[in-house]
Amino acid sequence: MMEFIPGEYAKDHHDGHTKKVLEVVDAHHIKLEMPAPRKPVIRPLWEVSPVPVVEMVDGTPVLHDPAARGVAAVLDAANARRAEQNCLSFVTQEQEALLRFVRRAEERGDGDQLVITLINVDDSDLTSTIADVLMPGADWDVQRKAGLLPIARGLAARAFFAHLAQVMQHEVLATALTTMALPIIVMSDNTVLCFDTVDPPYNYKASKNK
């Protein structure tokens, strides 16, 4: 195990910044200096160690490996980019339907109270529940039996998604609802993609589902 010495510096993996070691609290924790006016903070050794650390959790040894954390972060970023690209492909495939809904909203004249949805029903329990609320009684098995992806597409009440964004504390969705004239909300690949045009290049904001 790496030895930490007061007065030397250690990398805090919470924010990636290097901080001065003020005190070795015990065999498992050290106290780090924080920028003023914040008070010093105590971190477990595994959160600042550049080498693997074994921690006992309820009598079970747990390995904390900083290299593995870095790999996981890279994989998460790659998966997020892949999910966004899949969502954009989804949008491209459904562009004709989306244009139809845009025209319908314009004809109605109440676009400020609406959103357009493109939801992969089978993506998760969340999307399945939302689809059932928006389209009660829809028989999604008809599309599944035809070898098609069940999709909840259409116009929906903006107020419903505003409530959803509040309950989920979903900042991307909340921002889209307040800044976009007619948000198009895509839910697929465990991702929420919100954009304000059906014509490329797409101006969108994306975030993982919570």
Q: Evaluate the CA torsion angle 113, 115, 121, 127 in order and state its sign.
A: negative
Q: What are phi and psi of 184, to 5 degrees?
A: -105, 115
> In the predicted model, what is the mean pLDDT of residues 112-129?
91
pLDDT of residue 95: 85
pLDDT tens per residue, range 22-50: 888 876 677 888 877 777 877 776 566 65
Beta carbons within 10 angstroms of residue 23's beta carbon: 14
What are the CA-CA distances from residue 6 to residues 10, 33, 54 (Å)?
10, 10, 22
Kindly report the average pLDDT of the chain as a whole number.
78
End-to-end CA distance of the chain: 36
pLDDT of residue 161: 92
pLDDT tens per residue, range 63-109: 555 555 554 444 455 567 777 888 888 888 888 888 899 899 989 99
pTM of this structure: 0.60
Instruction: Extract the tokens encoding 5.
Output: 């010495």
